[in-house]
Amino acid sequence: MTDNKTKALKKANQVLTAFRSTIDEVIPIQIAHAFLIVAQNEGKGVVELADLAGANKSTMSRHLLDLSDQLRTGQPGYGLLVRSQDPTNLRSVIYSLSPKGKLLVNQIANILES
């Protein structure tokens, strides 16, 4: 294996470790993917985010709830996203990064930029 591939894999492992230490020891890759989609597309709703992720709306909705303040089971969520009312459509909810989510994004960016 080349040095570049080894470095790339090391960074990938560090990113996964950042997710695990911030969210949970066991994190489905789909949850991490949903988080990264929101991080790149703040202010969008479930339908748009699901389309960007190539996921169905109900699955994306569950992932976004888990990443917000409260899990769909009623237990505390991961706190990485903030749900808010869309100012242009009061029936819709949009998602953005919470302060904790912004810290994780910065941590991931620092890993990838190093």
**Contact residues for 97 (Cβ-Cβ < 8 A; gap 6+):** 38, 39, 42, 80, 81, 82, 105
CATH architecture of 27-113: Orthogonal Bundle (1.10)
Question: With contact defined as beta carbons under 8 Å apart, do 30 and 42 qualify?
Answer: no
Query: Over 90: is that where the pLDDT of 33 sits?
Result: yes
- H or E, element range at 74: none
Structure tokens at 112: 């990838």
Q: Give per-residue pLDDT as tens, 66-105.
A: 999 988 788 899 999 999 998 888 889 999 999 999 999 9
pTM exceeds cut of 0.85 = yes
How far is Cα 101 from Cα 82, in angstroms, rounded to an integer? 9
Average pLDDT over residues 17-45: 92
How far is Cα 68 from Cα 78, in angstroms, rounded to an integer? 6
